[in-house]
Amino acid sequence: MRVGVITFPGTLDDRDAARAVNAGGAEAVALWHADADLKNVDAVILPGGFSYGDYLRCGAISRFAPVMKLVIEAAGKGMPVLGICNGFQVLCESHLLPGALTRNSDLHFLCRDQEIEITNTKTVWTSSYSEGQKIVIPLKNGEGSFQCDDDTLAQLEGEGRVIARYVGQNPNGSRNLIAGISNARGNVVGLMPHPEHAIDTLTGPSAQGLGFFTSILNAMVK
């Protein structure tokens, strides 16, 4: 089971994502933004960071990276794709996911341990969790406020495509406390908080983020 982890220029959490993939039992494979092939990976993670310095808009330049053409193609055929933080922003810019991530409502970068509730366990990235399970993982970004139009929101809610919600006070102004969503097929997931920084209690607030990485392994093994 090979999970590709893409490094764009300015990506920061690639090594963390690779560590989490390995901790979850799969094999992490480094992918470079200029790569012209996906090296036979079974799934892809777009990690956090400031790809291309977040110039123009977060993720707006990365979507044109050569490797993204392949990711978009593969996602269309059902390959599991997880975008974390900046990766989520890239997925929105690539139109693999609807909506956009805008400046946090208080206009500050925010790094904190955030409680979220897993609200859809049917995706390949969340199947290890139980419906309604609450976990604490780091949230760290400046542009994490999920926004979309009313129709899109109704569709996301109606189809159960909100995969995680913030618990308690809204940390960044996201609509309906949305922390993560999936595409209609459920193979593409975007998540603002960072499960890869919560794989052991030594370095993270919990080990509860590991579920995203064991989910994908389980899904592929089945």
Partner 1 sequence: MSLDTVAIAQSTPENIQPFAQLGLKPDEYARIKEILGRRPTSSELAMYSVMWSEHCSYKSSKVHLKQFGDKAPKSDALLVGIGENAGVVDVGQGYAVTFKIESHNHPSFVEPYQGAATGVGGIVRDILTMGARPIAVMDPLRFGPADAPDTRRVLPGIVAGVGGYGNCLGLPNIGGEVIFDETYAGNPLVNALCVGVMKHSDIKLAKAAGAGNLVVLYGAKTGGDGIGGVSVLASETFGAGGSTKRPSVQVGDPFVEKILIECSLEIFAEDLVVGIQDLGGAGLSCATSELASGGSGGMKVALDRVPLRDPSLSPEEILMSESQERMCAIVAPEKLARFLEICAKWDVTVTAIGEVTDGDRLVITWNDEIIVNVPPRTVAHDGPVYNRPIKQPAYIDDVNSQRVNVPIPNSAAEIKATVLQLAATPNLADKSWVTSQYDKYVQGNTIQSQPDDSGMIRIDEQTHLGVAISTDANANWSYLNPYQGAKLALAEAARNIATAGARPLAVTNCLNFGSPEDPGVMWQFSESVRGLADGCLEMGLPVTGGNVSFYNQTGAVAILPTPVIGVLGVIDDVRTRTPMSFDSAGLELYLLGDTYEDLAGSEWAFMHGQRVGQSPTADLAREMRLIEVLLAGREEKIFSAAHDLSQGGLSAGLTEMVLRHSIGATITLDNVGISLLSETPGRVIVAIVTSKAEALKTLANKYQITLSHLGTTGGDALRINDAVIPLDELRTAHTSTFPKLFG
> Distance of CA 168 to CAs 11, 116, 117, 135, 178, Å?
30, 9, 10, 13, 12
Q: Active site includes 196?
A: yes
Among 80, 87, 138, 186, binds partner 1 (CB under 8 A): 138
Query: CB of residue 206 vs partner 1: minimum separation in angstroms?
Result: 12
CB 164, CB 179: distance < 8 Å: yes
Interactions with partner 1, residue window 150-179 (CB under 8 A): none
Give the residue with the Cβ less far from partner 1, 23 or 220. 23
Name the catalytic one among 58, 85, 92, 148. 85
Please pick, from the candidates 6, 16, 115, 136, the single residue that binds partner 1 as defined by CB under 8 A.
16
Q: Is the separation of the CB atoms in 138 and 114 below 8 Å? A: yes
- Give the nearer residue to partner 1 in terms of CB position, either 49 or 83: 49
Q: Which of 2, 25, 35, 50 binds partner 1 (CB under 8 A)?
A: 50
- Of the candidates 16, 9, 4, which has an alpha carbon nearest to the alpha carbon of residue 46? 4
60 near partner 1 (CB under 8 A): no
Interaction pattern, residues 79-108, with partner 1; x per rule: CB under 8 A: ---------------------------x-x
Note the residue count of the chain: 222
Q: Name which position in 111, 122, 130, 184 contacts partner 1 (CB under 8 A).
A: 111
**Residue 33 binds to partner 1 (criterion: CB under 8 A):** no
Active site residue 85: yes
Rounded distance between C-alpha atoms, residue 166 and residue 64, angstroms: 31
The CA distance from 161 to 180, in Å, is 9
Q: Please, what is the end-to-end C-alpha distance for the chain in angstroms?
A: 11
Neighbours of 151 (CB within 10 A): 9
Measured between alpha carbons, how far is 105 from 145 in angstroms, rounded to an integer? 7
Contact call for residue 66 and partner 1 (CB under 8 A): no
From the list 125, 45, 50, the residue with the least C-alpha distance to 83 is 45
Interface stretch with partner 1, choices 150-158, 161-169, 176-184, 189-197 (CB under 8 A): 189-197
The two beta strands, 178-182 and 188-191, are antiparallel
Should residue 52 be labelled a site residue for partner 1 when binding is judged by CB under 8 A?
Answer: yes
Please report where in the chains the tokens 């309906």 appear, as a residue.
176
List interacting residues with partner 1 (CB under 8 A): 9-10, 12-13, 15-16, 19, 49-50, 52-55, 106, 108-112, 138, 140, 142, 194, 196-197, 202-204
Q: Annotated active-site positions, please?
A: 85, 194, 196
